[in-house]
Amino acid sequence: MMQLSIVLSTHQASFDAVAFKGDLAANVAQIASMGYDGVELAIRDPKLVDPGEILELMAEHQLTVPAIGTGQAWGEEKLSLTDPDASIRQRAIERLESHIPLAAKLKAKIIVGLIRGIGGLSDSQKEEQWLVEGLQHCLEKAASHGVKIALEPLNRYETTLIHTVSQGVALIDKIGVDNMGLLLDTFHMNIEEPSINASIKSGKDSIFHFHVADSNRWHPGAGHLDFADILTTLYSTGYQGFVSGEFMPIPDAPASAARAIEYLRGLKLSASHSH
Ligand code: LER
Ligand code: MN
C-alpha cells in the first residue's frame, strides 16, 4: 500500500508549490480526514514550532511525519550553505542543525533543497567546497541523533547546484556517509532528467524521500506524467518510504489534495514490482 503524505507549511510562506499553509491543527485534521498517512512539515525555523504540539497532533490523527522541509530559511531569510559570506553559511548550518532534535523525535528525514543556495558564483569549485563542508557538519551531527538528510536535486531555474540524480549520487559518493541520500521530485526530474525511470533506477540505493507533482506542478493527474510507470519503477527499487505531494493549490488546497489522493490511490501499479 502506497504511503502518502502531503507538504504542509507550519506558517504562512511565499513558496507557491505547497497546498496547505498556516493554521496547523485545522490543516492536519483535514489532511488526515482525506486519508493521507502523513504530513511533510515545511518549517522555516524550528524555534517557531512547539514540538509537543506537533507530536500530539500526529498521535491524535495517527499521522507520520516522513520528512521536514527547510527551504523557507532560504526563501524568507536567504540563509544558504554556499553564501560567500561565512557568517551566513554558518547561520545556515546552525539552522539546519536546529531541525535535528525535532526530526529525531518524529523519526523524520531533514530535507536540503534550496537552503544549499542557488550558486552561480564565478568560483564554482569554492561553492562546491562550501556545500560539501556545510553538509558534512550537518550530517555528522544528524548521525549522532540517528537522523538522515535528503538532498533534493532541483531544476536549473532554481539553483546551479545539483540538478540531477547522477550529480546527487556523485556528491553522496564524495561525502561518503550513510545518513545522506536523495529526495527525488517528479517536477524537477521532468525538467532535468533524460529519463525519469532510468534516473530513479540509477539512484536506487540512495532514495530517502519522494515528491510528486505533475508536469505543470499541479496535483498528480493534472498534467502529462505517467505516474503508474514512475511509481512502479520507484517501488521496484525496494523503496519503502513515503510518496509526498508537493504541488500548487489549484483549484484550491483541499480540492488539489483530494484529487491527488484519489488519483494516486486509483493507479494500477504493475503487480510484479509494487510492494
Ligand atoms: C522543494 O521541495 C522543491 O521542490 C523546490 O522546488 C523548492 O523551491
Ligand atoms: Mn520538491
Domains in the chain with CATH codes = 4-265 (3.20.20.150)
Q: How far apart are CA 275 and CA 255, in angstroms?
A: 28
Tens digits of residue pLDDT in 19-28: 777 789 999 9
pTM over 0.85: yes
Query: Given this model, what pLDDT does residue 19 score?
Result: 77
Q: What is the mean pLDDT of residues 44-64?
A: 96
To test the pocket of ligand 1, the residue of 8, 16, 154 to mutate (highest count of ligand atoms within 8 Å of its CB) is 154
Residue 275 has pLDDT above 80, yes or no: no
Residues contacting 66, CB < 8 A, separation 6+:
3, 5, 38, 40, 108, 109, 209, 241, 242, 244
Query: Closest Cα to residue 186, out of 200, 204, 206, 203?
Result: 200
Cα separation, 200 vs 148, whole angstroms: 19
Give 272's pLDDT tier (boundaries 50, 70, 90).
Answer: low
Q: Is 152 a catalytic residue?
A: yes
Selecting among 40, 127, 152, 193, the annotated active-site residue is 152
Residues measured by CB to lie within 5 Å of ligand 2, the ion: 185, 211, 246
The 10s digit of each residue's pLDDT in 77-110 is 999 999 999 999 999 999 999 999 999 999 999 9
Tell me if 27 sits within 8 A of 58, measured CB to CB.
no
Query: What pLDDT does 271 receive?
Result: 67
Share of the chain above pLDDT 90, in %: 92
CB atoms within 10 A of CB 29: 14
pLDDT at residue 273 tops 60: no
> CA-CA distances (angstroms) from residue 97 to 86, 143, 221, 273?
16, 11, 36, 37
- Compute the distance from residue 154 Cα to the ligand 1 centre, in Å: 7
pLDDT at residue 21, rounded to an integer: 76
Q: Which residues line ligand 1 (CB under 6 A)?
A: 69, 71, 113-114, 152, 154, 158, 185, 211, 246
Please report the pLDDT score of residue 274 as a whole number. 44
SS3 206: helix
pLDDT band at 54 (very low <50, low <70, confident <90, very high): very high
Active site residue 246: yes
The ligand 1 atom at the shortest distance from the C-alpha of residue 71 is 7
- 73, 129, 257 from 132: Cα distances, Å: 19, 5, 36
pLDDT tens digits along 200-251: 999 999 999 999 999 999 999 999 999 999 999 999 999 999 999 999 999 9
Which atom of ligand 1 lies closest to the CA of 7? 2
**Burial group, residue 83, by CB count within 10 angstroms (0-12, 13-18, 19+):** buried
Q: Kindly state the cell numbers that stand for 16.
A: 507557491
Three-state DSSP state, 204 = helix
